């Protein structure tokens, strides 16, 4: 069963989320609105992994589910993106357990209860 819903704005073929713990929006419906994504993640107790600030803004006013992991660095080459996420990913997962929002920057991670 999946624990994370990868938003359509993030890479589909990406080794870090190539497991049963992750489902990509493209595999469900890549034309869903943010509200439909939110509802699906809420109903299935998923953490949304996204680059879309709308989700992080929304969770600040609500309680999970869903939880949000917000990737907050701009476009970069896939190798640089992979290297950056790989370096931070274990800390992101730890923070996700007890926080409703985890913001991931190139040089730091922030978490909000």
With bands split at pLDDT 50, 70 and 90, how would you rate the model's confidence at 18? Answer: confident
Tell me what pLDDT residue 107 has.
92
| Residues 16 and 24 sit within 8 Å (Cβ to Cβ) | no
Domain ranges of the chain: 4-112
Tell me what pLDDT residue 2 has.
81
Closest CA to 69 of 83, 84, 53: 53
Neighbours of 22 (CB within 10 A): 18
- What is the Cα–Cα distance from 103 to 91, expressed in whole angstroms? 11
For residue 36 the two structure tokens come to 């439909």
């Amino acid at each position: 069963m999946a624990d994370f819903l990868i938003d359509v704005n993030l890479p589909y073929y990406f080794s870090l989320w190539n497991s049963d713990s992750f489902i990509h929006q493209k595999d469900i419906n890549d034309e869903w609105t943010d509200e439909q994504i939110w509802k699906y993640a809420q109903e299935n107790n998923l953490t949304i992994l996204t680059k879309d600030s709308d989700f992080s803004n929304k969770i600040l006013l609500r309680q999970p589910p869903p939880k949000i992991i917000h990737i907050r660095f701009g476009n970069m080459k896939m190798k640089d993106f992979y290297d950056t996420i790989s370096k931070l990913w274990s800390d992101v997962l730890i923070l996700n357990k007890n926080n409703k929002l985890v913001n991931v920057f190139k040089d730091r991670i922030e978490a909000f209860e």
